Amino acid sequence: MKIQEAWERLRSIQEKLHVIQSKNIATITQIIQHIHFIEIENTTDLTGVLYYRDGKTSQHYTNRQAHYLITGTQRGVAYAVREYQKKANEEEGGYIFKTLTMNGYVKFLSDLAFDNIIYAKELEQFVMVGKNIFVPIDNATFEKYYPHTKKVYIDDFLEVLTEIMKTYEPFKHRYIIHRYGIGGKNWRYDIKELMMYDNKTKPTELFYRYVDIEKNQLQIQKAIDYVAFVARDKKTLHNLRLAHAYAVLVNVKLISPTKFFVLRDKGRTGKGLFIETFKAFYDEGFKRVNFDALVSKQSFERSNAIFNLIGAHFLYANETGAIDSEKMRFIRPVATGETLMGRGIGANMIDVKIDAPFFLDTNENVNTGELKANKSRMVRIALKDRPDNETDTQQKAIFKPWWDFIAPHGVPSLSASVSFFIASLEYYKFQNRQMEFEDVGLANYLDASELSNTQEILLIGIDKFGYMLLNDSLIRRAIIEDYGNTRNKLFKSDVQAIGVKHNHSMWLKEIEQVVKVYKVNNKELFKQTLELFDDDTREAILEQIINFENDDESG
């Protein structure tokens, strides 16, 4: 694009400013008037010929310094006031350009003039233009990529520019926007239509995501085979197969973010490799969450952690520690796309809204409490445990073909990553576009040694007899030793953590009356925890229960 055309674009915006209702029109007008474009001649010191136009008359000033380089061009920007200056003892003077402090508004307008930013009618917002991709600009994105000083702040800058472009369209861009498209070299996939199309991508086509691979590089079936290999059961397999589709559908706003994902295992199950399948596709949009800062009680730490999530398409927090109802207060708003307050270092607070899936990886307890909003939003993923007698060497050999596919030499493969996303979207289509996840139980304990004596007795006793009496002497003694009394919060959470309900009323036929008992209320969780015991341990605990009851009766 020629400098003259870019200059005319800015003036066409300026001409429409007077019809917009805003207290900042004069400020925006002044900024536009002080933007001057330079044809760069020396790329080392960014100097060149400055184009200046006053009315219909244009002038060129050589050897002028650019303060901002327009990406992908040989053009720069000088932000300055042109002043007439006459030196002492001279009859005639000349024009100088007095440099002003560069700010994000100048950079944004300059990028807009050169099509590095365009107004996308399809999205009704501005987008940044990359190589065959577009990046939507909201207030938070603007603050991050086009920062400004506190001294120069225009609170409705984007709103004013949006209204001008939407209502008057002072100039047009040259791009074709595939709002719901994933593009490749010779193909594109429409996320809304759930259809694959064969066509060579043109330089003027912009996608939600563009991947520089051929269609024949995709290995859809191999992606399906991997999730089947690591899934513990059919329910987990279903959740795994929908995960990538959920991610992109949230990104492009075809569905609202309503879920967060929790992965928990004993380790060595391929969980980390599953997360690798997201990395290459998202690239810089894959964000690791500073979880400690996110759940911090220090407001700046928390707001800065939120600010750093701007631009995220995928959120991942590993080694989160135990997840409880207190941490859920911070997790749920991020995962469900609520508007949060973020703050960069030395900057003002801004509204931040993240449309990205949130995956949490933990090896510790997951107890979100009884709040229905927490339980209904959590998608649990349980991967298949590796055999106890499997050595590290054996495990590495079994997983080597999958590593070679997903992250050869430790580098995430783009073709493999895209294969997982296409496979997931096709599965979503097979599910009649129903984004419904299965309820998978996550065992809160990975080893029997983590259980208290009370939990052991309840698990083995209920498994044998179907219930345990609330006033059972052995249980009461164990509770005193482990917790002190039943009012202890840890006792209540530990009972809940093994899928058992405390203080349940039950009609006991043998004595023909209602009694208070411990009984299973989460069969899957109870079963998973019970499976932690080997046969010898089960028999020993059961023998303890029976012998104690016999001694109690004889006593």
CA angle 195, 314, 408 (to 5 degrees): 80
Q: Flag whether 543 is in a domain.
A: yes
Query: Are both 473 and 419 inside the same structural domain?
Result: no
Q: Flag whether 402 is in a domain.
A: yes
H/E segment holding residue 347: none
CA 281 → CA 219, 350, 359, 427, distances in Å?
Answer: 14, 28, 16, 18
Judged by phi (left if over 0) then psi (alpha if -120 to 50, else beta), residue 267 lies in: left
Query: Are both 382 and 452 inside the same structural domain?
Result: no
Query: Are both 282 and 380 inside the same structural domain?
Result: yes
Domain boundary among 430, 456, 479: 430
CA distance 172 to 76: 22
Query: Are both 228 and 264 inside the same structural domain?
Result: yes
Tell me the DSSP string of 502-520. Answer: EEEEEEETTTTEEEEEEEE
CA distance 421 to 416: 9
Count of CB atoms situated within 10 Å of the CB of 286? 19
Query: Are both 52 and 80 inside the same structural domain?
Result: yes
- Which domain, by its residues, includes 127? 3-102+110-174
Query: Are both 483 and 524 inside the same structural domain?
Result: yes
Q: Flag whether 435 is in a domain.
A: no
Burial track 229-254 (b if 16+ CB lie within 10 A, e otherwise) = ebbbeebbbbbbbbbbbbbbbbbbee
Residue type for 61, please? Y
Q: Flag whether 436 is in a domain.
A: no
Q: Flag whether 377 is in a domain.
A: yes
Tally of domains in the chain: 4
Query: Are both 421 and 467 inside the same structural domain?
Result: no
Query: Are both 327 and 222 inside the same structural domain?
Result: yes
Q: Do 263 and 366 touch, CB atoms closer than 8 A?
A: no
Per DSSP, the three-state class of 371 is coil
Domain boundary among 215, 238, 268: 215
Q: Flag whether 437 is in a domain.
A: no
Query: Are both 321 and 304 inside the same structural domain?
Result: yes
**Residues in contact with 489: Cβ distance below 8 Å, sequence separation at least 6, in sequence order:** none
Q: What's the number of CA atoms in the CB half-sphere (13 Å) around residue 28?
A: 25
CA distance 175 to 191: 19
CA distance 549 to 475: 11
Helix-strand-coil percent breakdown of the chain, rounded to 5? 40, 25, 35
Tell me the DSSP string of 57-121. Answer: EEEEEEEEEPSEE-TTSSEEEEEEEEEEE--TT-S--EEEEEE----HHHHHHHHHHTTSEEEET
For 230, phi then psi, to 5°, come to: -95, -15
CA distance 335 to 306: 12
CA distance 335 to 373: 12
* pTM score, whole prediction: 0.87
Q: Flag whether 265 is in a domain.
A: yes
pLDDT by 10s per residue, the chain, length 555: 899 999 999 999 999 999 999 999 999 999 999 999 999 999 999 999 999 998 778 999 999 999 999 998 899 999 999 998 877 666 677 888 999 999 999 999 999 999 999 999 999 999 999 999 999 999 999 999 999 887 889 999 999 999 999 999 999 999 999 999 999 999 999 999 999 999 999 999 999 999 999 999 999 999 999 999 999 999 999 999 999 999 999 999 999 999 999 998 777 899 999 999 999 999 999 999 999 899 888 889 999 999 999 999 999 998 777 777 778 888 889 999 999 999 988 778 899 999 999 999 887 667 665 545 566 888 999 899 888 889 999 999 999 999 999 999 999 999 999 999 999 999 999 999 999 999 887 777 878 888 999 999 999 999 999 999 998 999 999 999 999 999 998 999 899 889 999 999 998 888 889 999 999 998 988 998 998 899 999 999 999 998 887 665 555
The alpha carbon of 346 is separated from its chain's Cα centroid by a whole number of angstroms, namely 25
Query: Are both 72 and 208 inside the same structural domain?
Result: no
CA 529 → CA 259, 449, 455, 496, distances in Å?
Answer: 25, 11, 10, 12
pLDDT of residue 367: 64
Count of CB atoms situated within 10 Å of the CB of 317? 23
H/E segment holding residue 167: helix 157-168
pLDDT of residue 374: 60
Count of CB atoms situated within 10 Å of the CB of 276? 22
The alpha carbon of 394 is separated from its chain's Cα centroid by a whole number of angstroms, namely 34
Query: Are both 473 and 404 inside the same structural domain?
Result: no
Q: Flag whether 15 is in a domain.
A: yes
Query: Are both 281 and 150 inside the same structural domain?
Result: no
CATH number of the domain encompassing residue 404: 3.40.50
